[in-house]
Structure 1
Amino acid sequence: MKLNPVLFSSNTKPLPLHSPFFLPLRTSPISPKLPLKLNLYPSAASFNLPNSIIRHGERRYRASARTSEKGGAFSSPLELEEEEDLSPNGPVYRNTLRLVECSMFAASAGLVYFLSNSLSIENYFGCFFPLPIVLSSMRWGIAGGRKTMVATAVLLLVLSGPLKALTYLLTHGVLGFAMGSLWRLGASWSVSIFLCMLVRAVGALGYVTITSFLIKENILDLITINLHATISILFTASGINIIPSMDLIYAIFGIVLLLNSVFLVFLLHLLYSVFFTRLGMRSSLNLPRWLEKAI
């Protein structure tokens, strides 16, 4: 590309003011009747954005403005996050504390149950297996107890397999969740013991059913047959010539199962009431009058 020597020669003279090619600069202000507006940032309403997105953008813009006013380094809008309350009474701290405590309770219950089964000392520590679930329900509500129960079952599923996890749920997990939920709701001891007794009895029957399926032997029939033979021997020794019917055997079996469940649940109520009282949670308990006087 060649340059025109006429335009770039040293002899070139500036254009006179009266030249038709001279365009003078406009120094007068712009007329107020025609203001100059450049809409470089259109409003959110023109894009029909939801109100939640608009409010979130406003919060981030105010956070960036406060950062710039304090003299801090300006961050891009993508790096700015909504300010969170990290005080001990804030929701973030409470949710984190609930997660940590429920995890600790679940780990404690799962490890104690696993070690007790491994060392064959389950009968000595069986009354403490529902305790972490009850304590979690008392501190963090019904949702906390449910999460602790599920986390314990998942831990046992990983450590010992599905049979141990299901056994824990039927014999201890659901009972602890029911007791903790009823205590959290402020139910009386009579209601709590009755419902927990039913939960324990159903769990025991479920455990026997699952065991019968695994060993391919009907354990309930064996129990009823042995009970029928025992009662027949007792009647014969007493001089009563009556053969007990199977309906009577089933009724006696149900009564014995309910008595076993109610005694266990009552002892758990006493033990956990004393334990929670020592922990300073007496105000959260709905104790009967005779127990309050004794404690």
Structure 2
Amino acid sequence: MSSSQHPDNSQPNDPHQKQPNPTDLARLEQELEEAEASLTYSASTSGTAASANSANSAYGRTTAPPLAMVETAFLASTASLLWLVSYYLSVGPWMRILFPIPIALVYLRWGLRASWMAAITCGLLLSVLMGPYLSLLFFIPYALLGVQLGAMWKRRLPWLPSISIGTLIATFGFFTRMWILSVFVGEDLWNYVTNRIADLLQWVLTKLVDWGLLGFEVLGQTNLTGVQIATVGMILCSDFVYVFTIHLAAWLLLERLGNPIPDPPRWVQVLMEEEKS
């Protein structure tokens, strides 16, 4: 019964069935080997291309020239906007502290070339918006200060040499402004200012003599050269304090942006900790 229902599969093959040709088998094996070799080559090529693409993408992430360009343009426009708002709206002298910081931040993030690009971009943008005179007044000293401070902060130099060089740049900017104004006005404003200071000093001495605090021999002894030297000393002291406040603002601000500057002297840190407490 079961044998009739299930045919016997163990019957020998039909002797008339066509047997495979050994030549065809060899050719088929060769084609399979060639196909496998081509697939292996394609996989290795795609792996090499993928590694090259990943290397290129890693290189792009490292240098990131588009990001550097965008940040440089953004920070340059920020510095220009600060100068424009401070000049036209008269917000206050405290905003002067922020003028060099965007360009210094460009140096900290992208180096010397990007910081000079930011400084020149500020000059060109302000020359279009406000004229070449006000653009030059920003470039000297604030843009130069930004490059100088960024360079010294990048090298992790102490505050004292950084403030000292910044003071010289700020003083140079003051005398540049004085010279430009003298050219426009047609008068030596430096001599004018020092003469007015000498007159003020003479008036103070006269009052002191009237009150009996000084003798009459001090009158008429005002030395114009001494007044000029004292004026330069006062300008240097004022610029020293100004650059010091820039360092304080940058120390408090740039650390939150992920680009900290060198730590201040110990006594400054103690004062800031006492102020916070």
Distance 1:292 1:249 in 2: 37
1:252 corresponds to which residue?
A: 230
The aligned length equals 219
Distance 1:92 1:285 in 2: 24
Change (3 A) 1:243 1:173: same
Greater share of helix residues, 1 or 2? 2
Once the two structures are superposed, what CA deviation does each residue of 1:90-143 show, in whole Å capped at 9, x if it has no partner?
A: 377522211111111111111232233232336352221111111111111222
Q: How does 1:67-216 map to 2 (within 5 A)?
A: 85-87=55-57, 89-90=59-60, 93-121=63-91, 123-216=93-186
2:243 corresponds to which residue?
A: 265
2:257 corresponds to which residue?
A: 279
Change (3 A) 1:117 1:89: same
Distance 2:189 2:231 in 1: 13
CA shift, 1:162, in A, is: 0.7
Mapped contact 2:194–2:227 kept (Cα < 8 A): yes
Distance 2:92 2:137 in 1: 12
Q: Which residue identity lines up with residue 233 of structure 2 in the other structure?
A: I
Distance 1:273 1:92 in 2: 26
Once the two structures are superposed, what CA deviation does each residue of 1:193-214 show, in whole Å capped at 9, x if it has no partner?
A: 1110010001110011101111
Change (3 A) 1:110 1:289: same
Once the two structures are superposed, what CA deviation does each residue of 1:47-105 show, in whole Å capped at 9, x if it has no partner?
A: xxxxxxxxxxxxxxxxxx98xx76xxxxxxxxxxx979552553775222111111111
Tell me, yes or no, if structure 1 residue 224 matches structure 2 residue 189: no
Pairwise CA RMSD? 2.6
- Structure with greater contact order relative to length (CA < 8 Å, sep ≥ 6): 2
Change (3 A) 1:122 1:176: farther
Mapped contact 1:102–1:147 kept (Cα < 8 A): yes
1:28 corresponds to which residue?
A: none
Change (3 A) 1:292 1:124: closer
Distance 2:258 2:269 in 1: 14
2:106 aligned counterpart, secondary structure:
helix
CA shift, 1:241, in A, is: 3.1
CA shift, 1:190, in A, is: 0.8
Distance 1:122 1:167 in 2: 17
Instruction: State the TM-score, normalizing by the size of structure 2.
Output: 0.71
Larger deviation, residues 176-185 vs 254-263: 176-185
Percent sequence identity is: 24
